[in-house]
Structure 1
Amino acid sequence: MAAILRIPEKSGNEIRLAHKFVNSNVQIETGNELLLEAEGKKIDAPNTIIKYLVNKSKSELLGADKAEQAQVEEWLSFCNQSLRGVSKKEIVSNIEKKINEHLSKNTFFVGNHLTIVDVVVFGLLHSHSKSIKVNSAPNTLRWFDLIQNVVIKANNLTEEFPLFEINLDDVPEPVAPEPAKKADKKGADNKKPEGNAPAAAKVDDKAAPNAAQQQGAKPKKEKKKGEKKPAAAAPAESDQHVFSRIDLRVGYIKSCKAHEGADSLFVEQIDLGEPEGPRTIVSGLRKFYTVEQMENRFVFVVANLKPANMRGVKSFGMVLCASNAEHTAVELLEPVSTNGLKPGQRVVVDGIEGEAMESLPPKKKYWEAVQPDLNTKDDLLAYYGDKPLIVKTESGESIQLKAVTIKNGGIS
């Protein structure tokens, strides 16, 4: 059966562009939901669909080596987190900050050559091209013009993706930051800052009334009534991979009971290796398991979600399950082996490092960015994209996660 890709009419521009750019032979149809049916699989995660299309035609676009491939994964995750399904305000903010800053030192997103990241980001930003302003995002604008020439114009895709007129004479060249000058030890405190540059230090003349006079500094200017303080600069956004922010841990269900106020819910006590004891976690699994099947087994838990009230019981985490597309079959993920497995051990992906956040901020939607790329494959093993989820034991053994029967399913 030929592969079919269904894309909603008013979304998925980046997927259409990737499909055309790699000359994919996958048939495209308009559908209510994004879905790729190929080789007996049903795939609904945008990044997984894009990588499938690229792998079949131009796999070099996924990176020339492992280091580049890891960077491609990071940027595709960024697209999921910060450019898909978010407000225009957030997209413009990313255009002007993270993207513009990265492109101030790079011609392309990865490896200084074209990768699928450039194609995907262009497809996501094309409808926002008028928001790329020369005064706030010159590097993004310069990159945008490059991609619309080497990807769109060179491949006769201007009908689907009209060119955006850019006058590069108006775009300033990137300015290299000037190295900070070391202050002269003797006269540093007497030198007046030039222009609008802030003074190196502020002297509290109430706490030390003679200090300003001794150092030759001007007296502190009194604040006028009603005068507002300048806003503090926003902290720089971390480049940490979004997956590593999620705290996935080994858990062990000590006990389980039916929720008294909901027919579909269990209330479990799950040991996560924490000194305060097991956590209370509520799961909607009564349709698929009995109490006896739930108890005394290893599971895997998303441990840093914001606690949620589930019909009067507060839940402090979520157990990971594999499911088919229709959610008529749902299975707890389990370890391939329990040898050396202990509650509290972290679930990781090789090549993605970083400390998990203590608590995921709901507005950042980090879990929502990661979850669509979690899946099982024909071997029943659990993956993030194409990389297996593993637990590394104290002995150095890597234990994989698996479903019992669900192949090519989603994980949530």
Structure 2
Amino acid sequence: MAAVLRIPEKTATEVVLVHKLTKSDAKLETGSELVLEAAGEKVDAPNSIIKSLVSKSDKASLLGADKAEQALVEEWLSYTNQSLRGVGKKEIVSNIEKKLNDHLKTNTYFVNNHLTIVDIVIFGLLYSHSKNIKVTSAPNTLRWFDLVQNTVVKANNLTEDFPLVEINLDDVPEPAAPVVAAKKGDKKGAEAKKGAEAKKDNKKPEAAPVAAAAPSEAKGPVEGGKPKKEKKVKAKKEPAPAAVETDQPVVSRIDIRVGYIKSCKKHEGADSLYVEEIDIGEEEPRTIVSGLVRWYPVEEMENRWVLVLANLKPASMRGVKSFGMVLCASAADGSAVELLGPVDPTKVKAGDRVYIEGMEGEPEKTLNPKKKYWETVQPELKTNDDLIALYGDKPLLIRTASGEAVQCKVATVKNGGIK
């Protein structure tokens, strides 16, 4: 059966661009949702579809030349999910003018200064927003956009589907002259500051004001032949600078741990919910509510190893507060939902953390719902033909006390989404 790529009308421009660029043999159709069907499998995450199209073409090198580069590509693709897909115009413009423009200030492309799939995906996502890339506020983004449209779109004869955007880079504003802070008694610094301000106002510096009188002259008569003591004026405290968010991989912000279900019972206020007490390596077990009554009898829930998303914001579920979520794989047709667990439970302990090789980092204490970290990561989580849990094309690994990496799997659900 030939592969079919279904794309909702006037969406997923970046997927269309990759399909055209790779000359994929997948039949392009309009559908109600984005999905790639090939060899009996369905892929519905945009980045997974893109990587599949590229890996099966003669442009597979766009995914990264080595493991280190592939990890950088994954980071940027995760960023596109979080900050460029499904967000409003205001957030798109903010990313164009800040994150993207700042990065491209010292880089020709996004990864290692050569073209990768990251450039093509971001170009596709920004194509319909090209009028918002202003030379005055985002000159670096605009320069890069013009480079990609010429080296990718024009060079591969794709202008019929992606007409070239007219760009004028002649009006890039000159950078403002730096203002040198003057130290006490530093005439050069003071003169440089004054000169910069004068240049900014496009006029000559005004004559310096008459110097203020010395304290003894300004205060008038003195008492007892001694000048009055001046009151010390406390320097105004400047606010501390805001914390800068690091560029660590988004997936590394998610805290997934090995858990052991010590007890499980039916939720008193909901027939479809279980209330579990799960040991995840803390002083006390965590209470977690799961909608798994349909899929597991209570005796199969107790005394088993699972994977727990541990840094979700606690949520009340029918009157019971849940402090996390157990991860499950779901069959594409909805016929099965299965708990994830370690391939070899004898090698793990409660609290062992899950990581992705080459994408490590310190997880957030509690995920900020506004940042949409989990929503960014979740579409890339899946199981493969061997029932192994993956993030993109990399396995989820458990870091054990011995240093051995243990993979995660499910019982029977192949190519299922994980959530």
Calculate the TM-score normalised by the size of structure 1. Answer: 0.87
Matched, 1:274 2:282: yes
1:50-61 matched pairs, under 5 angstroms: 50-57=50-57, 58-61=59-62
Contact 2:41 / 2:415 at 8 angstroms: preserved in 1? yes
Contact 1:17 / 1:123 at 8 angstroms: preserved in 2? yes
Q: 1:209 to 1:191 in 2, by over 3 A?
A: farther
Deviations 1:91-132 (A, max 9, x none): 111111110000001111112111111110000001111111
2-structure distance, mates of 1:61, 1:311:
48
Q: 1:130 to 1:182 in 2, by over 3 A?
A: closer
Report the counterpart of residue 106 of structure 1 in structure 2.
107
Q: Which amino acid aligns with 2:418?
A: I
2-structure distance, mates of 1:231, 1:32:
50
Contact 1:98 / 1:237 at 8 angstroms: preserved in 2? no
Contact 1:377 / 1:407 at 8 angstroms: preserved in 2? yes
Report the counterpart of residue 252 of structure 1 in structure 2.
260
Deviation at 1:87, TM superposition (A): 1.2
Deviations 1:332-351 (A, max 9, x none): 00111012311111000111
Deviation at 1:134, TM superposition (A): 1.1
Q: Which amino acid aligns with 2:36?
A: L
Deviations 1:3-43 (A, max 9, x none): 11111113111000011011111111111011111122111
Deviation at 1:171, TM superposition (A): 2.8
Secondary structure in structure 1 of the residue aligned to 2:123? helix
Contact 1:302 / 1:317 at 8 angstroms: preserved in 2? yes
1-structure distance, mates of 2:287, 2:186:
59
Larger displacement relative to structure 2 (152-161 or 304-313):
152-161
Secondary structure in structure 1 of the residue aligned to 2:129? helix
Matched, 1:194 2:202: no
1-structure distance, mates of 2:240, 2:405:
45
Deviation at 1:398, TM superposition (A): 1.2
Report the counterpart of residue 43 of structure 2 in structure 1.
43
Report the counterpart of residue 150 of structure 1 in structure 2.
151
Report the counterpart of residue 399 of structure 1 in structure 2.
406
2-structure distance, mates of 1:194, 1:373:
52
Larger displacement relative to structure 2 (304-313 or 51-60):
304-313
Within the candidate set 279, 283, 286, 2:293 is matched to: 286
Matched, 1:305 2:338: no
Contact 2:180 / 2:189 at 8 angstroms: preserved in 1? no
Contact 1:142 / 1:171 at 8 angstroms: preserved in 2? no
Contact 1:251 / 1:298 at 8 angstroms: preserved in 2? yes
Larger displacement relative to structure 2 (346-355 or 159-168):
159-168
Within the candidate set 265, 269, 282, 2:273 is matched to: 265
Q: Which amino acid aligns with 2:119?
A: D
Q: 1:177 to 1:357 in 2, by over 3 A?
A: farther
Matched, 1:344 2:343: no
Secondary structure in structure 2 of the residue aligned to 1:273? coil
Deviations 1:149-198 (A, max 9, x none): 1111222222222221111212358x7998x98987x745996482589x
Report the counterpart of residue 387 of structure 2 in structure 1.
380
1-structure distance, mates of 2:48, 2:154:
26
1-structure distance, mates of 2:232, 2:150:
61
1-structure distance, mates of 2:246, 2:417:
28
Contact 1:7 / 1:35 at 8 angstroms: preserved in 2? yes
Report the counterpart of residue 327 of structure 2 in structure 1.
320
Q: 1:170 to 1:191 in 2, by over 3 A?
A: closer
Contact 1:9 / 1:31 at 8 angstroms: preserved in 2? yes
Matched, 1:96 2:97: yes
Secondary structure in structure 1 of the residue aligned to 2:346? coil
Report the counterpart of residue 32 of structure 2 in structure 1.
32
Q: 1:176 to 1:296 in 2, by over 3 A?
A: farther
Deviation at 1:48, TM superposition (A): 0.7
Deviations 1:325-367 (A, max 9, x none): 1322100001110123111110001111210000111011000
2-structure distance, mates of 1:92, 1:250:
40
Report the counterpart of residue 295 of structure 1 in structure 2.
302
Contact 2:182 / 2:193 at 8 angstroms: preserved in 1? no
2-structure distance, mates of 1:21, 1:231:
50
2-structure distance, mates of 1:177, 1:242:
37
Deviation at 1:56, TM superposition (A): 0.6
Report the counterpart of residue 247 of structure 2 in structure 1.
239
Contact 1:15 / 1:50 at 8 angstroms: preserved in 2? yes
Q: 1:60 to 1:190 in 2, by over 3 A?
A: closer
2-structure distance, mates of 1:33, 1:176:
48
Q: Which amino acid aligns with 2:331?
A: N
Larger displacement relative to structure 2 (292-301 or 157-166):
157-166
2-structure distance, mates of 1:284, 1:309:
13
Contact 2:272 / 2:291 at 8 angstroms: preserved in 1? yes
Contact 1:250 / 1:344 at 8 angstroms: preserved in 2? yes
2-structure distance, mates of 1:369, 1:177:
40
2-structure distance, mates of 1:189, 1:325:
73
2-structure distance, mates of 1:266, 1:393:
29
1-structure distance, mates of 2:25, 2:240:
52
Secondary structure in structure 2 of the residue aligned to 1:150? helix
Report the counterpart of residue 3 of structure 1 in structure 2.
3
Structure 1 segments of 4 or more deviating over 6 A? 175-178, 180-184, 229-233
1:131-210 matched pairs, under 5 angstroms: 131-171=132-172, 187=185, 192=190, 194=193
Q: Which amino acid aligns with 1:31?
A: G
2-structure distance, mates of 1:336, 1:6:
35
2-structure distance, mates of 1:176, 1:376:
53
